A and B are shown apart, each in its own frame.
Chain A
Amino acid sequence: MTDVSPPFRKVLVANRGEIALRVVRGCRDLGVESVAICSEADQAAPHVRYADEAYTIGPAEASESYLAIEKILDAARRSQAEAVHPGYGFLAENAEFAQACTDAGLVFIGPPPAAMEKMGSKLEARRTLQAAGVPLIPGTIEPVRDPSEAERVAREIGYPLLIKASAGGGGKGIREVNDAEELTRAIANAQQEARAAFGDDAIYVEKLLRPVRHIEIQLIADRQGQVVTLGERECSIQRRRQKLIEEAPAPTMTPELRMRMREAARKVAEACDYVNAGTVECLVFDDDQFAFLEMNTRLQVEHPVTEMVWRVDLVAEQLRVAAGQPLTFTENDLTMRGWAIECRVAAEDPYQGFLPSTGTVHHYREPAGPGIRVDSGLYDGMIVGVHYDPLLAKIIARGLDREQARRRMLRALSEFRLLGLQTNVPFHIAMLQDPNFIAGAIDTDYVERTVHLTTDDRPDHTDIAALAAASFLQRNGSSAGTPGRDQGGPVAGPDPWVQRSRGQQGLVAGWRRN
């Protein structure tokens, strides 16, 4: 590209897992040295291995490691890093951390703390954006203090509605109210909850729009005042407000709506003097209406689908912008081409209502081949426990059109190999073949009202295990303790007793789903 001088000499990556590795890779592409931090549980993780330096900063508990601001700043000092990239989650939207970095003489690779605070307070964001002429979800822009005030608003906008915490976000601090009877109680509870969770009991009322699509606009702005919007991502395949599949562009998008949404996103960025990468999340309803939901003031999990179709490197641009360099492109330089879909692979059991699953990862092999990108924090021997987010890896498939991307994704999912841990890959395989998904007829409630998999769908591996073990015994002699190369140490964790429906499935059908 244009500017060949690295924006920084050394950057500390204040995160773990796939996003830490993504940022480490972005650094290396630019000739920037990277510093990893890790907890004692993550010392063998790929982000540690691939970074130029690594510092173990505390025990597995996030509060003692990835959330421990002083320890992170100390690692930055020891490594003489010039800047800190927060990834997503953990401290990424913590204005206090951004300020602490600045105070320590480090560049925080993200927006200015003031923009973060303005968008972090949902009410302040609503007030700012109403003034800027951005369409809002009907509701209040001032805190609602008592039930009578809420009743008046409810009569105006109608039920059902949502009580939201001003300090919430990302699906947290939200309460659904279906009628006037529930209202008084819901307000008291929401205030109490908000005070406990966020230390701020300001709540407000929004109309619950339904059905809606979740569509968001990626943008990036430099310090020279240029704001570039990079089209939309469709994120309606979600469960309990946690996204599972994202794609770009959105299947139902029209050029006219895209133009209006990009224009609104630009206004949001300008209204809060935004710098660096951010996402304006919107709800889209009645085909061509949209309203502002919230702004995420950071790099998002699903940024790769935008990178695929706009052919940009968002992490590289983040670093450049943070160093004060201008973006390497203008909006007119870029065109969107093709289609990209992302599946979030998580340690969740799709046969049991997405219960978190734990275990040790054996024999991980990631998919590859035409049009496939994998951003992953997985490694053999990794113990997936309860300390961190269940997101393990992201598979991104690119195609000339949606159908090619979808077929490539199905191929990639079938190539995804990992032994010893249940993931949600079977859900993705089912959803990618769902007729409504294929038709693009989805909304944010689609996953929850559509039961795709139950315990009856769980493949029964008992027969294959019997055949494999019988072959093993035949080949290696059946007496235990025979010395030989097969001896080895214990490999697996204990065998969890899981209820299985036995003998229903044919042998081949059972293991081919694997």
Chain B
Amino acid sequence: MAKKLALAVGQAAREVEVRETDGGSLVLVLDGIEHSVDLKRIGEGPLYELILDHHATEVLLQREGQGVRTIVGADSFLVTKRRAGAGGIGDEEAQEGELTVQSPMTGVVVEVLVQAGDVVAKRDSLLVVQAMKMNNEIRSPTAGIVKTVHVAVDANVDQGAPLVTIELGSAGAN
């Protein structure tokens, strides 16, 4: 029996079709490509072996709030289920709700380029964070309306600190 899952993977959207096979393993369809998948838990912790098309890779999987914290390699994603009817495959502009852009590094805010109420397009610059004497432009991952700016110039921010919250899908989706 097939089941469709509309997922938000960090800032991106993915739609995955899930089928159980008779042998107890899974077939997953992503972007029209079928993958054989087996997921083996290793020990009692959050470590899993993902056997994807007969290649094994270790991932960390753990519930976090409404979603699943998923760590692959150096990357950490919060994977959540998107609401039904929130758009089709890859249609990430049509997401509802809001998202908070977090600082990718520990540093100092040297410039804030948006304020609450601003309409932003995907890849618009939001602010500049300086780390190790390098200025890093933080761009919007999505189109929307700026709801809150959490920081001001000269603020010290840790990696993961909330910078700007954007209301999704209200503008620029088309």
Contact = CB atoms under 8 A, between A and B. Distances in A.
A453 to B, nearest CB: 13
Interface string B76-118: 1111010000000000000000000111111000000000000
A449 interface: no
A70 B78 CA distance: 46
B123 to A, nearest CB: 9
Contacts of B26: 471, 474
Contacts of A497: 10-11, 101-104, 138, 141
A470 B65 CA distance: 16
A511 interface: yes
A493 B9 contact: no
Contact of B105 (A465, A469, A496, A499): A496
Contact of A419 (B39, B55, B60, B68): B60
Interface in B51-87: 52-53, 55, 57-79, 81
B102 A363 contact: no
A488 interface: yes
A420 B61 contact: no
B102 A467 contact: no
A494 B160 contact: yes
A480 B66 CA distance: 5
A467 B73 contact: no
A507 B3 CA distance: 21
B65 A480 contact: yes
B139 interface: yes
Nearest to A353: B134
B7 A466 contact: yes
B14 interface: yes
Contacts of A353: 134
A461 B72 contact: yes
Among A420, A461, A498, residue most surrounded by chain B Cβ atoms (within 10 Å): A461
A485 B63 CA distance: 11
B69 A423 contact: no
Contact of A492 (B7, B31, B37, B60): B60
Nearest to B101: A497
Contact of B72 (A359, A464, A491): A464
B59 to A, nearest CB: 5
Among A362, A466, A475, A486, residue most surrounded by chain B Cβ atoms (within 10 Å): A466
Contacts of A502: 12
Given A419-B71, A422-B74, A474-B18, A358 B106 contact: yes
Nearest to A470: B16
A462 B60 contact: no
B151 interface: no
Nearest to B28: A467
Contacts of B33: 507
Among B45, B63, B79, residue most surrounded by chain A Cβ atoms (within 10 Å): B63
Interface string B32-43: 010101110000
B30 interface: yes
A487 B69 CA distance: 12
Among A355, A363, A422, A492, residue most surrounded by chain B Cβ atoms (within 10 Å): A492
A470 B7 contact: yes
Nearest to B53: A508
Contacts of B60: 362-363, 419-420, 491-492
B61 A469 contact: yes
A496 B12 contact: no
A466 B9 contact: yes
B35 to A, nearest CB: 6
A496 B26 CA distance: 30
B131 interface: yes
Contacts of B14: 462-463, 466
B73 A419 contact: yes
B10 A492 contact: no
A486 B70 contact: no
Interface in A442-479: 459, 461-475, 478
A467 B102 CA distance: 24
A238 interface: no
Nearest to B68: A469
Contacts of B160: 493-496
A491 B64 CA distance: 8
Contact of B18 (A470, A493, A498, A508): A470
A478 B132 CA distance: 42
Interface in A376-425: 385-386, 417, 419-423
A475 B134 contact: no
B39 A471 contact: yes
A357 B74 contact: yes
A55 to B, nearest CB: 29
Contact of A461 (B30, B67, B73, B81): B73
A56 interface: no
Contacts of A472: 39, 48, 61, 68, 70
A70 to B, nearest CB: 30
A265 B45 CA distance: 53
A466 B71 CA distance: 11
Contacts of B77: 461-462, 465, 469, 495
B119 interface: no
Nearest to B99: A497
Contacts of B10: 462, 465, 495, 497
B28 A462 contact: no
Interface of A: 353, 355-359, 362-363, 385-386, 417, 419-423, 459, 461-475, 478, 480-481, 485-488, 490-499, 502, 507-508, 511-512, 514
8 contacts: A422-B74, A462-B14, A471-B50, A472-B70, A474-B18, A488-B46, A494-B159, A508-B55
Closest 4 CB pairs between A and B?
A494-B160, A469-B79, A466-B14, A422-B74
Given A469-B70, A507-B35, 14 more contacts: A359-B74, A359-B76, A419-B60, A419-B74, A461-B77, A462-B12, A463-B14, A463-B30, A468-B48, A468-B50, A469-B79, A480-B63, A487-B63, A491-B60
